[in-house]
């Protein structure tokens, strides 16, 4: 076994190295400082290499000692051009991220690859600088850049030529309601259908070949309709639950809205383009209750925050429920869930995305 390297530090060198263990000019100097201090205390290079504060190869520690003995503290610093290169040297990482993002958002067919989705080997074919990488290597490169496989969501681009004008009208109504609370209201309205039989969703279950069951019963899958409005400023929810929601039910619901907000000077109701919303009977009911309709752009459900209230309802009540033979109890549980927001809720506004704090 080779003899342990001896290292003697003067007081100035010792103080400088101790300072580097706490606040080094460069992070890599902290490990080197610890290594030299430990060697000066009589420890062998292999022991120092195993120390958690150093965590380096034995040969590397020996090289640090030799450089220090030859050049002093300056010998520990990396010369220009030395050290580990940036991840995508010589190109900056953000430039590579932009290139990969552009590629993944385009169709592989644009790059001569006859597929609808990207595979790792297709990415390698399209990006010449990945040539020679294994698929596992390409996966790691993409992960370092912030890309990973994800389940796609259904999406449709709204074809409404008045998209911008309609959305700006709703935003102006929100600003007016926020500036005049109680006098001006913005209510987001929507309808939901749910059924007697439970909807399917993931749940915890013993591992193995069996799967969780959505308990059903024989007979018609009776539907229930909900219409509700969400107050965009307070989070208050007003709703009507019936077997069927049509023009007459909407007229009754508009009257219910006015009874909940009897003192409001102006009430905006933002709703989708369901044809029933534009029937004469419905328009007459709006005028009678002094409600101002605002129509969302067509095929733009993401602009209606009450849609997320329905998602919450499904998660809490409708998915995998065990009340297929107890329809009235199921409807009661739906009512109980919605009633928790009858006096308003900031938590609900955060959940649907209106509040961000």
Which parts of the chain are beta strand (E)? 184-195, 223-231, 237-242, 266-271, 291-295
Decide if 276 contacts 282 (C-beta within 8 A): yes
Decide if 196 contacts 327 (C-beta within 8 A): yes
DSSP state of 303: G
The pTM of this model reads 0.66
Domain boundaries, the chain: 11-76, 93-145, 163-196+220-352
HSE at residue 192, side-chain half, CA atoms within 13 A, is: 23
| Residue 53 scores a pLDDT above 80 | yes
User: Which of 25, 19, 1 has the alpha carbon at shortest distance from 9?
Assistant: 19
Which residues lie across from 61 on neighbouring strands? none
| Residue 89 scores a pLDDT above 70 | no
| Residue 63 scores a pLDDT above 50 | yes
Query: What is the pLDDT at residue 1?
Result: 47
Phi, psi values for residue 269, rounded to 5°: -120, 110
Decide if 155 contacts 237 (C-beta within 8 A): no
Query: What is the pLDDT at residue 339?
Result: 97
Q: Compute the distance between CA of residue 327 and CA of residue 198 in angstroms, rounded to an integer.
A: 11
Q: What is the pLDDT of residues 185-225, one digit of tens each?
A: 999 999 999 999 999 999 999 998 899 999 888 999 999 99
Q: Compute the distance between CA of residue 190 and CA of residue 310 in angstroms, rounded to an integer.
A: 9
Query: What is the pLDDT at residue 56?
Result: 87
Triad 119, 120, 124: Cα angle to 5°? 115
Decide if 31 contacts 54 (C-beta within 8 A): yes
Which residues lie across from 271 on neighbouring strands? 295
Average pLDDT over residues 297-303: 93
Average pLDDT over residues 89-108: 89
Decide if 32 contacts 24 (C-beta within 8 A): no
Q: Compute the distance between CA of residue 209 and CA of residue 14 in angstroms, rounded to an integer.
A: 65
* Paired sense of beta strands 266-271 and 237-242, if any: unpaired
Q: Grade residue 75 by pLDDT with cuts at 50, 70 and 90.
A: confident
Least confident of 48-57, 97-106, 118-127, 133-142: 48-57
Q: Compute the distance between CA of residue 189 and CA of residue 126 in angstroms, rounded to an integer.
A: 47
Q: Compute the distance between CA of residue 344 and CA of residue 232 in angstroms, rounded to an integer.
A: 10
Query: What is the pLDDT at residue 242?
Result: 96
Of all residues in the chain, the percent with pLDDT exceeding 90 is: 70
Structure tokens at 316: 């809490």
Write the class of the CATH domain 163-196+220-352.
Answer: alpha beta
Question: What rounded mean pLDDT belongs to the chain?
Answer: 92
Q: What is the pLDDT of residues 214-262, one digit of tens each?
A: 988 899 999 999 999 999 999 999 999 999 999 999 999 999 999 999 9
Tally: H helices and E strands in the chain: 13, 5
| Residue 51 scores a pLDDT above 70 | yes
Q: Grade residue 357 by pLDDT with cuts at 50, 70 and 90.
A: low
Query: What is the pLDDT at residue 6?
Result: 76
Provide the 10 A C-beta neighbour count for residue 30.
18
Q: Compute the distance between CA of residue 320 and CA of residue 212 in angstroms, rounded to an integer.
A: 9
Which residue is it, tokens 């220009």? 80
Query: What is the pLDDT at residue 5?
Result: 64
Average pLDDT over residues 94-99: 92
Q: What is the pLDDT of residues 308-353, one digit of tens each?
A: 999 999 999 999 999 999 999 999 999 999 999 999 999 999 999 9
Q: What is the pLDDT of residues 146-160, one digit of tens each?
A: 999 999 888 888 999
């Amino acid at each position: 076994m080779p003899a342990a390297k001896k290292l003697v530090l003067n007081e100035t060198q010792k103080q400088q190295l101790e300072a580097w263990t706490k606040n080094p000019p460069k992070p890599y100097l902290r490990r080197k400082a610890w290594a030299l201090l430990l060697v000066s205390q009589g420890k062998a290079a292999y022991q120092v290499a195993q120390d958690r504060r150093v965590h380096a190869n034995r040969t590397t520690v020996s090289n640090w000692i030799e450089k220090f003995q030859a050049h002093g503290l300056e010998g520990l610093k990396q010369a220009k051009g030395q050290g580990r290169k940036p991840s995508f040297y010589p190109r900056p990482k953000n430039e590579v991220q932009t290139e990969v993002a552009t590629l993944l958002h385009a169709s592989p067919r644009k790059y001569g690859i006859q597929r609808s989705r990207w595979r790792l080997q297709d990415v390698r074919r399209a990006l010449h600088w990945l040539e020679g990488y294994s698929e596992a290597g390409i996966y790691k490169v993409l992960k370092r850049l912030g890309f990973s496989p994800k389940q796609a969501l259904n999406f449709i681009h709204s074809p409404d030529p008045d998209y911008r004008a309609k959305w700006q009208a709703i935003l102006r109504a929100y600003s007016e309601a926020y500036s005049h609370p109680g006098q001006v209201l913005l209510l987001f309205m929507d309808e939901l259908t749910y059924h007697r039989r439970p909807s399917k969703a993931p749940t915890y279950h013993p591992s193995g070949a069996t799967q969780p069951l959505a308990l059903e019963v024989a007979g018609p899958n009776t539907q229930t309709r909900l219409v509700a409005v969400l107050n965009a400023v307070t989070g208050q929810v007003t709703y009507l639950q019936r077997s069927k929601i049509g023009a007459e039910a909407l007229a009754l619901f508009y009257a219910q809205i006015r009874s909940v907000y009897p003192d409001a000077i102006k009430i905006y109701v933002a709703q989708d383009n369901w044809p029933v919303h534009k029937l004469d009977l419905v328009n007459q009911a709006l005028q009678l209750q002094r409600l101002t309709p605002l129509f969302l752009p067509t095929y733009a459900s993401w602009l209606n925050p009450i849609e997320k209230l329905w998602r919450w309802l499904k998660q809490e009540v409708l998915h995998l429920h065990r009340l297929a033979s107890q329809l009235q109890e199921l409807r009661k549980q739906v009512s109980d869930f919605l009633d928790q927001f009858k006096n308003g809720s900031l938590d609900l506004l955060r959940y649907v995305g209106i509040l961000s704090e």
